[in-house]
Structure 1
């Protein structure tokens, strides 16, 4: 019995490569911003920048959903590369290797300094990192309760990998029972989203999740019980997977990009005015805010995808380099941010100078980490890179996440 074969595919979505690169790249700036706003984060700068919160809220509702949508498209194209009776099993093994190996490595090596410095800054933990790692991080239980009460070991920012792997394996399970599901549902979904419904129907769905699930299941990124996030991210992942090959939908997204942008601006304006507390709180107002937030999620994603399809089509060495590098950057970036910010504590730098140092040093750390990892064969799979490097051919053929 012959093993499943991989075949090349002619699909190339350079625009989605760029979307993925830019979305992951924004994480560096977003997580640096988390040092300065009032929202919870592992450590905090001594400076507070209240004006930064509305700016970050421009990105917050849709940036992660967009990544899951792009990952859904990539997964559909990857699945098409496998032939044979056991192609689903081969696809599941390939995705598991590319996702779970970096996850385990990240949890054991990359993430621990984040937890250690969080405990140092919040509780004044007196012992060194080795003591923390052996006595607490590897305890496989809740530690330092009641505040901050961290379950150790943890995946912190690597939760995205966990969720993506779970959605992928669940999808493989469905396709093993109904092999034609992707094509059958995708064609009917594309028909349902024809014309103006492209901006309306997903908008209603994301708004429903925000209105009915978010108040009951606040975001935890803990996998179990995180039902609002699962509804949100799995919906985006499935939209990408099911519509990946529906060329008409992508042409409509490009055609309606300006309308999507205008609706996104209106929804965000409504949400931010309510968020700022300019109106008395009421149940009706919460419905308006939740609806505006959910609709903003989808139309903002549609606008990004539409403008990317129109303008981000240039290929070259930069795109090819970053397509390979951005996943290792993602693995490393948050630990770099936290360690650098902690080292600058008490330095007397202004907020702007401190942020500039954190951003620059984090970017340098990401570049150096990737350059080392891609040159050392045994390090490559730990950072989500193929064991044997090969040329990058676009989102259809190379998409680690």
Structure 2
């Protein structure tokens, strides 16, 4: 983000969203269906994790799309559209292509080794599908984003700023997401990776994220004013979902719950997280490389720990610790310090490290 009008709360939310993604992926290894989506899974599941996972799963990925749209607004501040596309290619496209051919096949080899399958090189987007979507959004929406940015004093942006200060604006936001699920009819709602639902939901969230920052202080003041209503609404809808057989509710209710959680996160983040520090500066740079490599260390930790004859709760903690430690050790002593590697993980090639 630009140093001008930098929003540290958005930086913190991006870091936290990546952290939740890592935690969620570790938890998948302790669910009976984990192997069905290509995860190394423990023989004994840990069912107590599922209610928390189910709560997170309706908003953790949409939150990342919102935050990505916000980040593009700041990236545009002192760049032409050509410079933006070049910067996003360096930041997103290069790591995506590198990960597709180098990172994803590596953790697939670990999966094959664990289950004694024939070893084979399998390039693909894997968990990096998110990066491919984001790059497409930047390219497709670039004319719209630059039109809005260059006409911040115009009628369209004026209406956005005027409407966004009223809570009714959030009903419009929710209505667009409801329209998406009615048109696409995803089954299940939480299946985002490499689906049309994930693509269109991400596109809408990305564009609204951009508009939320474009709208200015009126929008964020409105979120702060109504923050407890969002929390109560989200918690109530989640409680209702818990009470249903197999936690099954309509996609429309999931959309409303998802957005209420996200509005709550933005509101409380804006109130309490809009400050910098050494921890944020370090984690903000580390989050992206950690996201790219975390599946390798997750699978490696699972491969080493799952065969052990120890309590399943201890296994979860050890896999989590091994994944986090492996990611940050690799980032600190390899990715961060080797200049030729940095661009492959979306980092600037700096001197003096």
Same fold, judged at TM 0.5 (above): yes
Q: Which residue of 2 aligns with 1:367?
A: 328
Distance 1:330 1:185, change over 3 A: farther
Equivalent residue, structure 2, for 1:334: 295
- Check the 8 A contact 1:206/1:232 in 2, yes or no: yes
Deviations 1:162-194 (A, max 9, x none): 111110111124457887477754432343344
Aligned to 1:221: 193
Task: Please say if residues 36 and 45 of structure 1, whose CA atoms lie closer than 8 Å, have aligned partners that are also in contact.
Answer: yes
- Partner residue, 1:393: none
Label 1:81 to 1:89 Cα distance change in 2 as closer, same or farther (>3 A).
Answer: same
* Residues 1-400 of structure 1: pairs in structure 2 closer than 5 A: 9-39=3-33, 40-42=36-38, 43-82=40-79, 87-121=80-114, 124-127=116-119, 132-133=120-121, 137=122, 153-175=123-145, 180=150, 185-215=156-186, 219=191, 221-222=193-194, 226-246=195-215, 247-274=217-244, 276=246, 289-371=250-332, 372-388=334-350
Cα distance, 1:220 vs structure 2: 6.1
1 or 2, which has the higher helix percentage? 2
Structure-2 separation of matches of 1:262 and 1:66: 19
**Partner SS, residue 243 of structure 2:** helix
- Give, in whole Å, the separation in 2 of the partners of 1:378 and 1:52: 40
SS of the residue 2:41 aligns to = coil
Q: Per-residue deviation at 1:347?
A: 1.3
> Which is higher, the Rg of structure 1 or of structure 2?
1
CA contact (8 A) 1:72 1:239 kept: yes
Distance 2:226 2:148 in 1: 33
- What's the counterpart of residue 3 of structure 1? none
- CA gap 1:178/1:217 in 2 versus in 1, 3 angstroms: farther
Structure 2 unaligned segments of length 5 or more: list them: none
Deviates more, 1:206-215 or 1:326-335: 206-215
Distance of aligned partners of 1:121 and 1:67 in 2 relative to their CA distance in 1, 3 Å threshold: same
CA distance 1:178–1:126, change in 2 (3 Å): closer
Change (3 A) 1:178 1:305: closer
